[in-house]
Structure 1
Amino acid sequence: MTIELVSQNRSFGGWQKQYTHRSSVTGCNMRFAVYLPPQAETEKVPVLYWLSGLTCTDENFMQKAAAQKIAAELGIAIVAPDTSPRGEGVPDDEEGAYDFGLGAGFYLNATEQPWAQHYQMYDYVVKELPQLIEQHFPVTDKKAISGHSMGGHGALTIALKNSDRYSSVSAFSPIVNPVNCPWGQKAFRHYLGNDRESWKQYDSCELMSVLKPADKKLPMLVDQGTLDNFLVEQLQTRSLEASAKEADYPLELRYQEGYDHSYYFISSFIEDHLRFHHQHFEFAQD
């Protein structure tokens, strides 16, 4: 697979870069951003995959989260894909709503038309993009995953379904129970159809409920602001707290007093998340 460099900027001794490539999974051109710490010039480094939220692109986290300084210190590469397929022929919400279609892929594999042809973000994030990163950049096989809001939903569900692929998972303000919230119900109905049983494979609370005692349980860190406007109706963090308790899942859930849903919140605690993942990279087997 070939990639094309769009831009590059020096940052804290490393490089912030942006690329495009043709995706066989989504059937369109995709864009991603990657931060390579200075250590990557002489050795392979572990990588954190960051999944962004509704309306975002690959640029939001890289420009607003202030993650490069600590990533450079710890020697962690960061990869941020786009939040949906885009381009000519890729369908969008008929009313142009922000919570479905372009910028709102929900990190699942759509099964309904016309979405199924392009909206295969689960396979893109789990399979195609890591293969591309490992082919073109000096990274080890140590991976972690994190995200915000819709991207937090993606990070948690992907980690729960692929615990052998990652060392740890974290999220800011994740949508944890999409089968029971308006954002999730709208997206799942269009992407997956009316069979609500099929929705459960992309719901963190539902996935936790079917874990067996012998299943691998990744270290999980979740931060949630108490003044988040979406907390009660859309995010439903208490449901994740209850599901984790029931499943005896090693969830560290922190309610951050006075914080909202914005990147001011993310930038305030991103260092904690990077150090969390770095700790578990150290424990991971080579």
Structure 2
Amino acid sequence: MNLVSEAKAHGGTQGVYSMHSAACGTEMTFAVYMPPQAANGPCPVLWYLSGLTCTHQNVMDKGEYRKRAAELGLIIVCPDTSPRGDMVPDDVTNWKFGKGAGFYLDATEAPWNENYRMQTHILAELPAVIEQHFAADLSRQGIFGHSMGGHGALTFALKHPDRFKSCSAFAPIVQPSTADWSVGAFERYLGKDEESWRRHDATRLIEDGARFDAFLVDQGTADSFLDDGLRPWLLEAACAAADIDLTLRMQEGYDHSYNFISTFMDDHLDWHAERL
């Protein structure tokens, strides 16, 4: 692990670090906020997965999570959204694919399968680094995210309910296998067999038997992506059919931006702290 920067914030430390990722075949950057309570012993870990076009920087600069995380004693880990570097394949004409758009899966199709292995990076590589270098209690982990990151959080929780004790999302892509801004990426990363897509789709995972205790989802009613890309009612229907506790809050007048996320960030941190 390499230090990029560290600064004191609300009695804790906001750091940015990098590591060589064997999964992604490149250097990967991530942010970690350590609350002041970590000086006295390991603290629970909350993973935040960002959305399309973002890096760790967006939520770190605009998410407004540090004050409440310091009060609650939560470690916040913010990975990147894709592999980076000049040698990593990309499609510069498409913001919904390639760099900044890893969709939190392990690609199976060439040439993307050489680097786009974000599932392995976040579920295997990065936790090992966090455990080694930080006062983190990995028996108490939660996960949340925004948009594409909300999709990642929901699917990781459904696939690993023994690891993650809590899960929430801001404006998640709940059914990426049919959403207009993710179908193209799924086909290029995973191939044309749509059955393989189900393992990376929250609603399909639930249909196929995956379960999680409870979700909190906030969605703005003024979100321009609501009807074509996000469609929270599909998650609502899937959870109702599977008897999964879903708290879906439609927030009047809010859009897809960090103005929306920062407004309800404390609610989400409180949700996770109660369960961690």
Provide the residue aligned with 1:284 in structure 2.
Answer: none
Q: Deviations over 1:45-88 (max 9, x none)?
A: 00100000000001111110100000000000000000000002
Q: Deviations over 1:199-223 (max 9, x none)?
A: 11000100111226xx5x2321100
Q: Identify which of 216, 235, 239 aligns with 1:240.
A: 235
In 1, Cα distance between equivalents of 2:5 and 2:93: 29
**Matched residue of 2:114: which SS?**
coil
Provide the residue aligned with 1:231 in structure 2.
Answer: 226
Q: Which runs of 5+ in 1 are unaligned?
A: 282-286
Q: Identify which of 46, 49, 54 aligns with 2:52.
A: 54
In 2, Cα distance between equivalents of 1:176 and 1:69: 29
In 1, Cα distance between equivalents of 2:34 and 2:93: 35
Provide the residue aligned with 1:136 in structure 2.
Answer: 133
Are 2:123 and 1:126 aligned? yes
> Which residue identity is paired with 1:99?
K
Q: Identify which of 28, 32, 45 aligns with 2:43.
A: 45
Q: Identify which of 267, 270, 275 aligns with 1:275.
A: 270
**Contact 2:49-2:146 at 8 Å conserved across structures:** yes
Q: Identify which of 195, 214, 219 aligns with 1:219.
A: 214
Structure 2 length normalisation: TM-score? 0.98
Q: Identify which of 255, 259, 266 aligns with 2:254.
A: 259
In 1, Cα distance between equivalents of 2:205 and 2:76: 26
Q: Deviations over 1:27-52 (max 9, x none)?
A: 11000000000111121100100000
> Which residue identity is paired with 2:274?
Q
Provide the residue aligned with 1:169 in structure 2.
Answer: 167
In 2, Cα distance between equivalents of 1:182 and 1:125: 25
Are 2:61 and 1:32 aligned? no
**Matched residue of 2:112: which SS?**
coil
Q: Deviations over 1:132-176 (max 9, x none)?
A: 101110011210000000000000001100111111100000000
**Contact 1:143-1:167 at 8 Å conserved across structures:** yes
> Which residue identity is paired with 1:164?
D
> Which residue identity is paired with 2:90?
D
Are 2:187 and 1:189 aligned? yes
In 2, Cα distance between equivalents of 1:167 and 1:61: 22
**Matched residue of 2:181: which SS?**
helix
Identify the range of structure 1 (203-212 vs 40-49) with the bigger mean alpha-carbon deviation: 203-212
Q: Deviations over 1:247-273 (max 9, x none)?
A: 111111111111110000000000000
**Matched residue of 2:94: which SS?**
coil
**Contact 1:159-1:218 at 8 Å conserved across structures:** no
Alignment: residue pair count: 275
**Matched residue of 2:52: which SS?**
coil
**Could you tell me how far 1:240 is from its partner in structure 2?**
0.6
**Matched residue of 1:29: which SS?**
strand
| Structure 1 segments of 4+ aligned residues over 2 angstroms from their partners | none
**Contact 1:169-1:218 at 8 Å conserved across structures:** no
**Matched residue of 1:205: which SS?**
helix
**RMSD (Å), alpha carbons:** 0.9
Q: Identify which of 111, 115, 121 aligns with 2:112.
A: 115
Structure 1 length normalisation: TM-score? 0.95
Provide the residue aligned with 1:147 in structure 2.
Answer: 145
Q: Identify which of 19, 22, 27 aligns with 1:21.
A: 19
Q: Identify which of 60, 70, 73 aligns with 1:72.
A: 70
